[in-house]
Amino acid sequence: MTFKAPANLTIVNHPLVLHKLTLMRDKNTPTAVFRQLLREISLLMAYEVCRDLPMTTRHIETPLEPMEAPVIKGKKQVIVSVLRAGSGLLEGMLDLIPSARVGHIGLYRDPKTLQPVQYYMKVPEDIAERDTFVVDPMLATGNSVAAAVDRLKEKGAKGIRLVTLLAAPEGIERFHKAHPDVPIFTAAVDSHLNDHGYIVPGLGDAGDRMFGTK
Ligand code: URA
């Protein structure tokens, strides 16, 4: 397919990210290593995702003199993990933003229709007052995460960013059409989706590889 990347797509193609991603793609990489690599990549991605957070200053005193020092403005962020694979990205992001609140949303893909079915949702009550980072490692059809963002917007979430590890052009297009206001961060955009909705060449089923369930 001809793919026109939306302006608010950021590909975090830092050499460290790409190297670790290659190790994750390798089918011989064991579960524990896969999980550790995902944690490391998500920490590196969080750095980029937070780049344009609004800043303010706080009056402090260094050992030498008082100063107006930069701090991130407003309430801390909410990281919403799309179960179950989102938890892999969540860990690394929390390493970097430990005071972020955490939400969870559970959606599974109906294997026949590939449409999302919600089975769980719990997010902070004050989500509307925070920036929201939605984490889901695989942006495949885009249906599940678009539905997750629908639910979060219904709860008043604003300033939403989507953080994903790998994306398919089809998923980016579908998600961007549903939520053109939501910037997408990914480490790579792969070739296409196969008939089962898997990203090719991809890395297989992220949940299974992370938890060793297959
Ligand atoms: N979910 C995955 O875990 N992998 C894919 O390739 C697509 C969706």
Q: 173: Cβ below 6 Å to ligand 1?
A: no
Q: Note the pLDDT tens digit of each residue in 7-54.
A: 999 999 999 999 999 999 999 999 999 999 999 999 999 999 999 998
Structural domain includes residue 153: yes
> What is the residue whose two structure tokens read 């590909």?
11
Closest CA relative to residue 159, chosen from 39, 87, 99, 72 = 72
Confidence tier at 169 by pLDDT (50, 70, 90): very high
Mean pLDDT of 95-120: 87
Residue 195: CB atoms within 10 Å? 5
Structural domain includes residue 107: yes
pLDDT above 90: percentage of residues in the chain = 82
Structural domain includes residue 203: no
Which ligand 1 atom is at minimum distance from the Cα of 85? 3
Structural domain includes residue 58: no
State how many domains the chain has.
1
Q: Which of 24, 108, 205, 214 to mutate to test the pocket of ligand 1 (most atoms within 8 A of CB)?
A: 205
Within 8 A by CB and 6+ apart from 91, the residues are 38, 39, 42
pLDDT at residue 3 tops 90? no
Q: 149: Cβ below 6 Å to ligand 1?
A: no
Q: Which domain holds residue 163?
A: 11-51+77-197
Q: Note the pLDDT tens digit of each residue in 64-85.
A: 999 999 999 877 899 999 998 8
Confidence tier at 1 by pLDDT (50, 70, 90): low
CATH code of the domain in which 193 resides? 3.40.50.2020
Cα of 200 vs centre of ligand 1, distance in Å, is 9
Residue nearest to atom 7 of ligand 1 (CA): 198
Structural domain includes residue 101: yes
Structural domain includes residue 106: yes
Which ranges of the chain does DSSP label H, i.e. alpha helix?
15-25, 31-49, 86-96, 143-154, 169-178, 206-211
Least confident of 32-36, 91-95, 136-140: 91-95
Within 8 A by CB and 6+ apart from 197, the residues are 109, 114, 140, 141
* pTM for the full predicted model: 0.93
Mean pLDDT of 204-213: 94
Structural domain includes residue 16: yes
